[in-house]
Structure 1
Amino acid sequence: MHACSKWMLMFTALALTGCAAAPPKNQDNICSIFRQYDDWYEDAVDMQEDWGTPIHVAMAFVKQESSYVHDALPPRDYVLWVIPWGRVSSAYGYAQAQDPAWEDYQKATDNGGSRTDFGDALQFIGWYTSETQRQLGISKWDAYNQYLAYHEGRGGYKRGVYKSKPKVMQVARKVERQAKTYGAQLQSCRKELEDNRSWWPF
């Protein structure tokens, strides 16, 4: 009986692990990503249609925030530099959405969702950037300023706290460059991706 239970636990663990997609093999090329995971392209199209946030901008956010790791967590915090003491923030999942922001998203959209689900994470980014445009007037195509507001929070962006954080601004420029690269790549394979969609049964 004990051996049977042990095997059942191992099987369950393997099954749950199998549900999570491994990070894309080539994260620097959005066409390769969508060829590997065609359902992610469908999720990305849905997000853009729902919120108006460009696919290449949202995907650049995901690459920076989690490197496409579904259950990504922020670094650990330490007491006296050696004793682990929780995490530096409550950020979690593909979009590294923090608990308060995720709860706001759920309330605003009536979407339960999961931060470890790629489609739900993209919807969160779409909602957040849409709200940032509404509240702060930042274009959804402006990856640099949108990312600053995403990383620092809209209140922090409005107060200009990022101006004293050169590393954060460097990361925002990195996201901006990645978004531009993704955008150019997506133009080159968009027809192929759309043609593949037309063959899907649903």
Structure 2
Amino acid sequence: MNRHFTFFLCGLMVLVSGCATSPPQSPENICDIFQEHRSWYTAAKETRDKWGVPVHVPLAMMYQESSFKHNAAPPMQYFLGFIPIGRASDAYGYAQAKTMTWDDYIRETGNTWASRSDFDDAIDFMGWFIHKTNKVNGISKWDARAQYLNYHEGWGGYRRGTYKSKAWLGKVATKVDDRAKRYATQYRGCQKELDASWLQRLFF
């Protein structure tokens, strides 16, 4: 095979897989996450400014949903232990967004080319959802626990209290809230450094 053609194919593969960023090495620390993935911080700030959502809340929810894996999906279900019959839901991507809700997001925002496997789009989706939860059910955008319950059960399910019969879900929501609070504390300690320009980071 021609060497130049080989280089072309390699370059094309890099471009195609560009949005498939690997999960951060230190997912428990928001400062480390954003230091490793600088573009994620830019996207998180844009979501904050656009939807009025604090940086740490959607990030804590996203970690719980996908562990920051771009192609995360519910496990495959099997009949008789070996015949695949599909997944429990069509949730997919960083935000584990379901197709119906994702379609609502695209229709309302006009973000036609959005992809659930793209971090920027996924966190914008979560910002939109948190913002709507605030409008629909009056939940504070800083209340990670109640926001997660809405995210998991849907706005109608939350109003009906479906989560109250799911003790396991309450524990998960508390876990998300605890992580969000840790993220918030960590972020206060590194925000100034994260906000510094690349030139400032280079010389100071």
Q: Given the two structures, how large is their TM-score scaled by the length of structure 2?
A: 0.89
**What's 2:119 paired with?**
118
Alignment match, 2:187: 186
CA distance in 1, matches of 2:187, 2:85: 42
1:172 aligned partner, one-letter code: A
Mapping 1:35-184, distance limit 5 Å:
35-112=35-112, 113-184=114-185
Instruction: After TM superposition, give the deviation of residue 195 of structure 1 in Å.
Output: 1.1
Q: Residue 27 of structure 2 aligns with which residue?
A: 27
The answer to whether the 8 A contact 2:19-2:117 is kept is: no
Q: Report the 3-state secondary structure (helix = DSSP H, G, I; strand = E; otherwise coil) of the residue aligned with 2:63.
A: helix
What SS does structure 2 have at the residue aligned with 1:33?
Answer: helix
What is the DSSP-based 3-state SS (H/G/I as helix, E as strand, rest coil) of the residue aligned with 2:44?
helix
Q: CA shift at 1:16, angstroms?
A: 3.3
- Deviation track 1:125-152 (CA, whole Å, cap 9, x = no partner) reads 0000100110000001000000000011
**TM-aligned CA deviation for residue 53 of structure 1:** 1.0
Is the Cα–Cα contact under 8 Å of residues 130 and 147 in structure 2 kept in the other structure? Answer: yes
How big is the shift at 1:198?
Answer: 7.5
Q: Which amino acid aligns with 1:155?
A: G
CA RMSD of aligned residues (A): 2.3
Inter-partner Cα distance in structure 1 for 2:106 and 2:18: 27
Counterpart residue type for residue 147 of structure 2: Q
In structure 1, stretches of 5+ residues that fail to align are none
Q: Distance in 2 between matches of 1:82 and 1:163?
A: 34
Distance of 1:130 and 1:197 partners within structure 2: 31
Q: Give, in whole Å, the separation in 2 of the partners of 1:199 and 1:117.
A: 28
Q: Structure 1 length as normaliser, TM-score? A: 0.90
Between the aligned partners of 1:198 and 1:45, the Cα distance in structure 2 is: 19
**In the superposition, relative to structure 1, how do residues 66 and 190 fare at CA in structure 2: closer, same or farther (>3 Å)?**
same
